[in-house]
């Protein structure tokens, strides 16, 4: 390939989302996640693709396969004059419900319910803490105001569909009970701004991350919005949180096993 051809391909690449997807995957891989790029999944017989699926997993002695999964959609543009805006309100709350609002399989929800009783430990995990203001809308600025052409809207739609396809899948993984916890994430290569109301005035601030809350089917969905500049810290926090969730599960199963072992086969009684 000649130099002019390489320059042409490179110029084309700079207009596509592939470089951001590759850089994002590289961050998850370096952190220690088992990472799949261009993850394909099926919904109602139709095949879809999500940019990235990254997970940490462990199988316990009771044949339970537990995994913490991050499904990631990446969006970039050469037009940096169109920042993303997340619209927020002061309705955030950090409590045990933060765990129960996460996407999960049936057995994953049971695990989260049990971990909710350990909220003092769980609240230290950065990926579980909600910001002071929670997002209720996400949009690309300078658009025409319709969902049809809004890249942010379609990113939310895509990552929600992928997350749901994963947590509503069969509750078994290779004949093991599947306890899966899913975190939807959108990574944007554009500047990210937060818009909220304070004293009846619109406030606009540049931010690195945000959390978008969506109501669907009587349940709350939480989606992390991350600018590329904040990606290294987010991925590091994600790995720390994922491994801690697995460790907490291991501790819970160890306590439960010891309890039932003592009930079924108690030691000699003293008289």
Task: Using the predicted structure, report yes or no on whether residue 195 has a pLDDT greater than 90.
Answer: yes
pLDDT tens readout for residues 26-84: 999 999 999 999 998 888 888 989 999 999 988 766 667 788 999 999 998 766 678 99
Which has the higher per-residue pLDDT, 3 or 198?
A: 198
Q: By the 8 A CB rule, do 60 and 66 touch?
A: yes
Count how many Cα atoms sit within 13 Å of the Cα of residue 225 in the half-sphere of its side chain: 32
Which has the higher per-residue pLDDT, 108 or 238?
A: 238
Q: How many whole angstroms separate alpha carbon 151 and alpha carbon 77? A: 10
Averaged confidence pLDDT in the chain:
82
What is the b/e burial string over 198-221, where b = at least 16 CB atoms within 10 angstroms of the residue's CB? eeeeeeeeebbbbbbbbeeeeeeb
Task: Using the predicted structure, report yes or no on whether residue 1 has a pLDDT greater than 90.
Answer: no
pLDDT tens readout for residues 245-256: 888 887 776 554
Q: How many whole angstroms separate alpha carbon 47 and alpha carbon 205? A: 38
Cα→Cα distances 158→50, 123, 161, 177, 197, Å:
7, 29, 5, 27, 28
Q: How many whole angstroms separate alpha carbon 59 and alpha carbon 75? A: 34
As a whole number, mean pLDDT of residues 99-125 equals 81
Q: How many whole angstroms separate alpha carbon 53 and alpha carbon 226? A: 16
So what's the pLDDT on residue 35? 96
As a whole number, mean pLDDT of residues 133-152 equals 81
């Amino acid at each position: 390939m000649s130099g002019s051809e390489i320059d042409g391909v490179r110029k084309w690449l700079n207009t596509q989302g592939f470089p951001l997807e590759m850089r994002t995957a590289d961050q998850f891989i370096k952190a220690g996640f088992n990472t799949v790029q261009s993850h394909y999944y099926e919904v109602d017989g139709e095949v879809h693709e999500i940019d990235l699926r990254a997970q940490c997993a462990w199988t316990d002695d009771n044949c339970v396969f537990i995994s913490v999964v991050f499904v990631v959609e990446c969006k970039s543009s050469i037009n940096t004059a169109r920042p993303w805006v997340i619209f927020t309100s002061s309705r955030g709350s950090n409590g045990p419900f933060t765990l129960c609002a996460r996407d999960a399989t049936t057995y994953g929800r049971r695990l989260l319910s049990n971990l909710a009783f350990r909220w003092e430990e769980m609240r230290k995990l950065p990926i579980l803490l909600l910001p002071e203001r929670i997002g209720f809308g996400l949009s690309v600025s300078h658009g025409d105001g319709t969902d049809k052409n809004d890249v942010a809207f379609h990113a939310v739609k895509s990552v929600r569909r992928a997350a749901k396809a994963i947590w509503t899948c069969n509750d078994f993984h290779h004949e093991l009970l599947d306890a899966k916890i899913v975190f939807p994430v959108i990574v944007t290569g554009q500047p990210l701004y937060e818009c909220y109301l304070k004293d009846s005035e619109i406030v606009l601030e540049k931010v690195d991350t945000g959390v978008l809350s969506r109501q669907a089917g009587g349940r709350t969905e939480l989606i992390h919005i991350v600018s590329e500049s904040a990606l290294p810290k987010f991925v590091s926090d994600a790995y720390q949180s994922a491994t801690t969730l697995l460790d907490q599960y291991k501790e819970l199963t160890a306590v439960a096993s010891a309890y039932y072992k003592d009930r079924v086969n108690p030691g000699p009684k003293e008289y």
